[in-house]
Amino acid sequence: MLVLIYLIKGWAALKRPKLTTANLSTKVTLLIAARNEEENIRLTIEDILAQDYPKHLLEVIIVDDHSTDTTADIIRSYAPQGIKLLQMNETEKLNSYKKKAIAEAIKLSTGDLMVATDADCRMGPKWLSTVVGFFETEQPVMISSPVTYFQEKSLFERLQTLEFSYLIGIGASFIGNKRASTCNGANLAYRKDVFYEVGGFKGIDDLASGDDELLLQKVAERYPGRIGFLKHHDAIVYTHAKPNLTEFLQQRRRWASKSTRYKDKKVVALAVCIWLFNLSLLVNAVAGFFNPRFFHLFVTQMFFKYLFEAAFLLPIMEFFKRVGLVGLLILLSPIHILYFVYVGLMGNTRKYAWKGRVVR
């Protein structure tokens, strides 16, 4: 309850910024690492080309990460429109191909502000100008911006949208409380000089994941209070939920694998406490079959968990204009307990599959 009150306070502290997108002057390099994205990359590129940001201030570098489909050919076909293709050709096995791809793209970049997104994302035409407008107005060194799922095709995908919004809200709330700890690499911007000042991905390049959160924490350590969350609807990036349980669990295990590497050990301790709270729910539910007092405790825990999570999620879903999904919390809450305990354990003890590779 105290954690959720802290998060509610942090989200409320974030105000919609007053931006001007006229006379923007920042040279931007937009970075995408792509692997086997032939089904999505064309739509992403079209959205980028449709941005209202001045073309002479925008550089787009897409890194093909050893794709085995036609991803590279699709990217190459946009060369006349200014899209640059960088193809990775490493012969030795890496554990973090994505970090390597981003780092190589930054080496070639000419922009002052790096804006990273993913090859399966969609965005409105004002996305980039909104991000840069915030950068020039507020002068943060790093900007975390909102990401959400869309075009759901099933109840399972709608439940993911609600759960994912919860995660985005947590990252935003921590920033609102001046303690940046989490973000999402599908919508992240940072100054190029700051990337090199903190050593880039050095020290975190042994993990497949973490090109977003672990980098953010390195920056937060050097520049406390200089990381912003862009609470603006035009800054939202859209992507798709996972179509099945297997892919969903693989993704969440990948995200969980970096949690023990957080620089702020208080955040690690908090995550462990939340995991233990969810474990206690399972224990009390099972113990309730042997002693009714444990079942009463379980019901009390679930009541307050649902009540405070609903209070946290309502304003977040209102921001995403998906308030109707909050009604699914009654289904998500009990499911979330099982998944949270499983992912928290498996994400830090086993390897997992990602983009056709087995990594850790």
CATH class of 2-247: alpha beta
> Where do runs of H (alpha helix) occur along 177-291?
192-197, 213-222, 245-256, 265-287
Q: How confident is the model at residue 271 (pLDDT cuts 50, 70, 90)?
A: confident
The mean pLDDT value of the chain amounts to 92
Q: Where are the domains of the chain?
A: 2-247, 265-347
State the DSSP H helix or E strand holding residue 107, giving kind and residue range, or none if neither: helix 97-108
Q: Are 81 and 89 in contact (CB under 8 A)?
A: no
Given this model, what pLDDT does residue 251 score?
A: 85
Q: Has this prediction a pTM greater than 0.85?
A: yes
Question: pLDDT: is 244 or 255 the higher one?
Answer: 244
Q: Is the pLDDT of residue 209 over 90?
A: no
Of 101-110, 227-236, 250-259, 323-332, minimum mean pLDDT range? 250-259
Q: How confident is the model at residue 262 (pLDDT cuts 50, 70, 90)?
A: confident
Handedness of CA 312, 318, 320, 322 (dihedral sign): positive
Q: How confident is the model at residue 349 (pLDDT cuts 50, 70, 90)?
A: low
Provide the token pair at 144. 């975390």
Q: What are phi and psi of 188, to 5 degrees?
A: -140, 135
Q: Are 360 and 351 in contact (CB under 8 A)?
A: yes
